[in-house]
Every structure is written in structure tokens, then in C-alpha cells.
Amino acid sequence: MMEIKDLKKNFNQLKEILAYSNTGSDNELFISLYLLVNPKRVSKQEYTSKLNSMIVEKKSEIEQSQNYSSQQKKDVLDMLNLIKIFINEQYRPKSGKTLLLYAFKREIINIIELPFTIKSKLIIDPKPHTQILRTILSSTPKYGVLVLDREKAQLLTIYLGEIEDFIEAFVSDVPPKVNYRSQLAFKEKNILARIEEKLHHFFKYLNERLLAHLREFKFDYLIIAGRKDIIPQFLNYLHSFLQSRHIGSIFAEPDEPPSTIREKANKLIENFEKRQKDTLVDKLIDEYNTHGLGVLGIEGVVKALMMEQAKQIIFDEDFFAEGYVCQECGYISLKKENNCKYCKGKIVYYSDVTDEIIETALKQGCELVSVSGNQRLVEAGNIGAVLRFIAY
């Protein structure tokens, strides 16, 4: 069985695919497969059935298409059969939710399990479809989680839904309990004052260390985890810079396992990111588009990219569109043209041109925002862009 690679640990091995440029023969085609394999949502029978139906549909399209040569058709059909056999007979899901598979020159060249849900789709184009991977790298933040009680604390980071690193551990000299009967020589107020003073210094030190790690770009946002009685106390110590990055708190016991902390944090992160993205969509539609600094729909976005106007691209994760791309200069068109109107280069058909849109946007330094389930964006054309300037 072929090795299934983990996105986070083996992403360096994908650099060749991400940097791939088909500057040689026009006859080679890539097959990119996204297949929902989450055991909690689909069974093996369901995902193999979905794959088989996609392959049948794609074979019919390929055989009837005038955009591929006879040799290309033969190679693609052979690769589709190879993928079908592999998924049906050899593949077993591990911990991922979506399988990403690349095939090229009649071989399966890369298999990755992604830790999030993506709609199943099968794409055949001159280049590997890397839209999802590029979007992940360019837009996925890292979250710092401070787990604390009165005696100790630890700072860890969550990236792509998994605990990536334990950055630092802290130990306090604040006593967990006070036995007043054994300390009758002291007044109760003095004992409490000493405890509160130690706790004050501990919280102050934690605040300083968090601020240092944030300034060193070790995380983008902050989550506080702890008991209900201690979180409000600690939040009073947060520096204003940390407060601006604090997205919420989760209640946890000191001895809670990391897996439970991760699950609670991920729920908070999911809600936070959805609110952020919904706000961006509302701002694009209500503000930027209204005042001319935004465009909605595929035609407006492509035009903005060709004029290098786009600052931010917001798109539905299930969005796709057919199009044509110049092999020489990267010009994108939604209509068939014999030659590029800019450099006269050859125009190549893409069954899904969104990958080229994403690549062009990245080259221009655009921010990419992938949105799921926002009805306003879907009704507005599934994709939009915030512009750097208005072209007159």
C-alpha cells in the first residue's frame, strides 16, 4: 500500500507539486482527486460509490471533449482506472477527513489526508489542482492556548486542528491550599495577602511571557483555558495587545488530557473563524462593493486580477468555473480564445480555473479567504474581491 502522508508533517515533500509548471510537453495531464473519507460521516461503501460515479462521469466528459488529444484521453482513462483500483482495494482511511490524491504519467504520485471536510471532486488539468493547499498555507492562523491554574501553566499551539507544539511550561510557588489550623500564629488576612501577592506575580510573569511569544510570531490568536474561578482573575492582567488577540476562554481542569483541550479549543476556533469570515462577506457586499472597492462574481474577480486590482479574494470552498489560461503569461479568460490577446500565446482549457485564480492572486500578494455555507456569498456569485484601487 502507498504511504499516506500527513499534511502538517510532510508538507515539504509537496513543494515540487506546488511549484510545478508545465513548460514542456502539452500532452501531460494531472488528475487531482478530493474525496470525503471522514469515518464519522461516510462509510467505505459510500466514498467508493461516490468515487466510481465521479469517474464514470469524468470518463464520459473526456471521451466526448474536443479539448483533449487521443493520447491524452488514453492516459487519463488509464490513470482513472488506476485510482479506482487503489481506492477500492488498497486504501484505508487513517485520521484525516478528506483524501487528496495526485496522479500523473499513469502513476499515483502523492496521497495526503487533510484534517478538514472538503466536497469530493475530480479535476483533470494541465497542472495539479493545489487551490486547497495554497489557501491553507496562506490563511490558516496558529492559536496559542494557555492552560493554567494557581500552581502551574503551560502554553501550547494549535495549527490545522492539531496540537503542534508545547512552547513553554510555568511553575508557580502559590500554595494550592492553606491549612489555617496549622498556622494559628498568623492572622488570616496576612496569609491571604501573601497568597494573593504570589498569585499576582505569577499572573504578571505569565502575561509578560505570553506577550514575548506573541511578538515572536509563535501564535496569532490566544485562548485561555482553566477553571471558572481563575480565568476572570487572569484576564485582568492581559496586556492590551494580548486582549486584541484573545478570542475566548474554555473551562478545563488542571489534569485534563491534551486531546480534550484540543477538542474544546477547536470548537471555539471554528465558531471564531466562521464569525470572522461572515463579517468579511458582509463587509464585501455591503460596504466595498457599494462604494466601488469590491466586485462580486467570477467575471469581476478575473477582470480585477488581470488588472492587478485585487487585494483580497473571498470565495465559497465549493466554487468552481471553467475557463482558459495562457501558457505563456498566465492570462485568464472565461471565454474560448484562439490566442492570448496580450502575448499571442497558446490558450489552454481548464475544467476548473479556480486554481489558476488562486495562484494568480497569491503571486499578486492577495489575501485568500475560503468560506463555507454563507448564503449571501453564494447568492452573490460564490466569489468576490476587495480592490486596492478603483480603475477608471
Q: What is the pLDDT of residues 103-123, one digit of tens each?
A: 998 899 888 888 777 778 999
Whether 201 shows a pLDDT value over 60: the answer reads yes
DSSP symbols for 226-274? E-TTTHHHHHTT--HHHHHHEEEEEE--TT--HHHHHHHHHHHHHHHHH
Among 142-151, 250-259, 297-306, which stretch is predicted with the lowest mean pLDDT? Answer: 250-259
The yes-or-no verdict on residue 151 having pLDDT over 80 is yes
pLDDT, tens digit, 9 for 90 and up, residues 229-243: 999 999 999 999 999
pTM of structure: 0.73
Q: How far apart are CA 195 and CA 30, in angstroms?
A: 65
**Has residue 312 got a pLDDT over 90?**
yes
The pLDDT score that the predictor gives to residue 225 is: 96
| Selected residue with higher pLDDT from 1 and 101 | 101
* Percent of the chain at pLDDT exceeding 70: 88
If we measure between CA atoms, which residue out of 329, 321, 324 comes closest to residue 363? 329
Mean predicted confidence (pLDDT) in 11-34: 71
Grid cell, residue 195, equals: 497568597
Average pLDDT of the residues in 49-61: 95
pLDDT tens for each residue of 331-373: 999 998 889 989 999 999 988 888 889 888 888 889 989 898 8
Domains and CATH numbers, the chain: 1-129 (3.30.960.10), 143-256 (3.30.420.60), 274-392 (3.30.1330.30)
Mean pLDDT over each residue of the chain, to the nearest integer: 86
Over its C-alpha atoms, the chain yields an Rg (Å, rounded) of 26
pLDDT higher than 60, residue 169: yes
pLDDT at 185 over 50: no
Reported confidence tier of residue 392, pLDDT bands at 50, 70, 90: low
Q: Is 316 helix (H, G, I), strand (E, B) or coil?
A: strand
Strand segments (E) across the chain: 5-6, 30-36, 98-104, 107-114, 121-125, 143-148, 152-159, 162-171, 221-226, 246-251, 294-296, 310-316, 323-326, 332-333, 347-350, 367-371, 383-387
State the Cα–Cα distance between residues 67 and 60, nearest whole angstrom: 13
d(CA 297, CA 317): 14
**pLDDT (tens digit per residue) in 267-296:** 999 999 999 999 999 999 999 999 999 999
The mean per-residue pLDDT over the stretch 2-26 comes to 59
Read out DSSP for 318-372? T----EEEETTT--EESS--SB-TTT-PBEEEES-THHHHHHHHHHTT-EEEEE-
